[in-house]
Amino acid sequence: MSSMWGERIRLSIFGGSHTQAIGVTIDGLPAGEPIDLEAIYEQMARRAPGQDATATARKEADMPRILCGYLNGVTTGAPLTAVIENTNQRSKDYEDLRVHPRPGHADYTAFVKYGGHNDVRGGGHFSGRLTAPLVFAGAVARQILARRGIKAASHVLSVGAVREEGFDPVCPEDALLERLSRAYFPVIDEAARGRMRAAIECARRDGDSVGGVVECIVTGLPAGAGEPMFDGAENLIASLVFGIPAVKGVEFGAGFGAAEMRGSGHNDPFYMDETGGVRTRTNHAGGILGGITTGMPLVFRAAFKPTPSIGIPQDTVTLPGGGSAKLTVTGRHDPCIVPRAAPVVEAAACVAVLELLARSGLLNG
Ligand SMILES: Cc1cc2nc3c(=O)[nH]c(=O)nc-3n(C[C@H](O)[C@H](O)[C@H](O)COP(=O)(O)O)c2cc1C
């Protein structure tokens, strides 16, 4: 399984939904970086399950235990490993799924690839639970970036057909980013949360699920980070964000909307600010040109599909070779992944940006 990522900041994420623990090793972190554990717990709590009716009822404290790589409040430079205990498994809910794969989940493809030896309990290594270690890594990266004036935030842009306004991609307010980066179910317009909750509740009552979009912004980036073609900022970010289960699309700046624009409307006009810095008046590029950061805010969106596990009876098959069958999924599931996924997308952005800066030699200082 390829659950390792990165060249300079190397992640290895391990475990499964119902194994004893899940965790992450982060190698390549600069030494002597102060890491505030409370700030890490705050980020973990934003993703933790069991907080409200829009999420799975499975309760997990998600308290990470650091095994190594951290001493006297700072990184040592050695690999930093953290584990998170799984304490609330109900494995019997999943016994049937080895032979009756859930439509939309990875049960079938994992069965084929691993010859039925994969851990199917709670989705095993394919579970959304594996995003907890990613949030840990992101919380570490976030603190290292913050010390260099770089901030990340995200919000739930849409749930189903319910949508709120997007970020100001040119000059987002620091106070807004600060609020969003600490919130559970972050939204720019607080009134939108209620409408989104209602859409999730409506799907849940029907035994169904709903998808949505998370928008993420990173500010304070220097211009000049990234490489052309295959090692660009977009490539790096997308490769991590596509590692988040249920992500089916990633777009930067104007994204797919750019296809409907003219060059005269899409091109971001340059100007020089009072300090001599080069800026753009609009930011359809999402802060990236030619794979290299422009110094404007980096803006991207991740589209999440509706949660595969739904309570409505569905068509499946009996593996191996047992013909067609009906499946009603039981167990505890998120009727909508998106509210809990927002801090995960933000974490992925922080890790990717740390890697981007390290590769471009811009991490020092
Ligand atoms: C935070 C989070 C929570 C998730 N919760 C569930 C869940 O409760 N039930 C479920 O079937 N899928 C859930 N998923 C999605 C599945 O893990 C994912 O759809 C599955 O592994 C198949 O991978 P793919 O959708 O990327 O193809 C969750 C994903 C995330 C990011």
334 lines ligand 1 (CB under 6 A): yes
What is the per-residue pLDDT for 365?
Answer: 57
The C-alpha atoms of residue 122 and residue 303 are separated, in whole angstroms, by 23
Q: How far is CA 39 from CA 63, 135, 217, 330, in A?
A: 12, 11, 19, 35
Give the β-pairing of 247-252 and 162-163: unpaired
Ligand 1, closest atom to CA 246?
A: 25
List of domains in the chain: 4-359 (3.60.150.10)
209 lines ligand 1 (CB under 6 A): no
Pocket test for ligand 1, best of 337, 340, 345, 346 (most atoms within 8 A of CB): 337
**Residue 161 CA, ligand 1 centroid: distance in Å:** 20
What is the per-residue pLDDT for 330?
Answer: 86
Q: Which residues of 143-181 are buried (b: 16+ CB within 10 A; e: fewer)?
A: bbbeebebbbbbbbbbbbebebeebebeebeeebbeebb
| Model confidence pLDDT, tens digit, residues 47-75 | 998 777 777 777 777 899 999 999 999 99
Contact 28, 164 (CB under 8 A): no
357 lines ligand 1 (CB under 6 A): no
Ligand 1, closest atom to CA 47?
A: 1
**What DSSP state is assigned to residue 34?**
B
Q: How does the average pLDDT of the chain come out, rounded?
A: 95
46 lines ligand 1 (CB under 6 A): no
**Residue 107 CA, ligand 1 centroid: distance in Å:** 11
**Residue 295 CA, ligand 1 centroid: distance in Å:** 34
331: CB partners within 8 A, 6+ apart: 90, 93, 94, 122, 309
Ligand 1, closest atom to CA 244?
A: 31
The C-alpha atoms of residue 127 and residue 99 are separated, in whole angstroms, by 18
245 lines ligand 1 (CB under 6 A): yes
**Residue 300 CA, ligand 1 centroid: distance in Å:** 21
48 lines ligand 1 (CB under 6 A): no
Query: By alpha-carbon position, which residue is closest to atom 24 of ligand 1?
Result: 246
Residue with tokens 């049937």: 96
Q: How far is CA 343 from CA 136, 225, 286, 348, 354, in A?
A: 10, 24, 20, 9, 16
Burial, 323: exposed, middle or buried (Cβ in 10 Å; 0-12, 13-18, 19+)?
A: exposed
Pocket test for ligand 1, best of 334, 338, 340 (most atoms within 8 A of CB): 334
26 lines ligand 1 (CB under 6 A): no
54 lines ligand 1 (CB under 6 A): no
Q: Give the three-state DSSP class for 105.
A: coil
302 lines ligand 1 (CB under 6 A): no
Contact 44, 64 (CB under 8 A): yes
pTM of the predicted model as reported, rounded to 2 decimal places: 0.96
234 lines ligand 1 (CB under 6 A): no
307 lines ligand 1 (CB under 6 A): yes
Q: What is the pLDDT along the chain (365 residues), one digit of tens a residue?
A: 479 999 999 999 999 999 999 999 999 999 999 999 999 999 999 999 877 777 777 777 789 999 999 999 999 999 999 999 998 777 676 778 889 999 999 999 999 999 999 999 888 999 999 999 999 999 999 999 999 999 999 999 999 999 999 999 999 999 999 999 999 999 999 999 999 999 999 999 999 999 999 999 999 999 999 999 999 999 999 999 999 999 999 999 999 999 999 999 999 999 999 999 999 999 999 999 999 999 999 999 999 999 999 999 999 999 999 999 999 998 888 899 999 999 999 999 999 999 999 999 999 75
Ligand 1, closest atom to CA 102?
A: 11
Q: Give the three-state DSSP class for 130.
A: helix
**Residue 296 CA, ligand 1 centroid: distance in Å:** 32
